[in-house]
Structure 1
Amino acid sequence: MDFRSELIPEAQYAELTGRNIRSVQRERARREGPAFIRIGRKVYYRKAAIEQWLLDQEQVQPRAAGGSR
């Protein structure tokens, strides 16, 4: 198993989500966002963890009150 192909560096995760790296670091410090892996000083995210976290963020739009049927 080549686990390296499943890991995304912190900077790439920030780029994929359209945020800067400092925002991602703050998110991690607040224990928000997807699970991460720390190897030495470097932080990585698993692709599957990012996908699952994004799916968990999905919200159903409530219907407007009084709308026509």
Structure 2
Amino acid sequence: MEDLVVPDGVPEAATTVLRTAREPLRQSYYCYEFSTVAVMHSPIAVEIVLHDRIPGAARARCSSSSSRAPRGVS
């Protein structure tokens, strides 16, 4: 677990998410199911970093997803 360090320059929100994901991973030594929680939590940090690094990513995703809405759904 000591090797899992958060690099410098990562947004604070992503750092918090990664630290939160690290604890269930540590506890998965005693309870295997916690590893699933840690693995499913970590992509949130990746999304935060990508939104930070790609300007306008949130607006692009929202506008493209609304054009694919099924008929009758607004």
TM-score (norm. length: structure 1): 0.32
TM-score (norm. length: structure 2): 0.30
Higher strand share: 1
Higher helix share: 2
Asked which structure has the greater RCO (Cα within 8 Å, sep 6+), the reply is 1
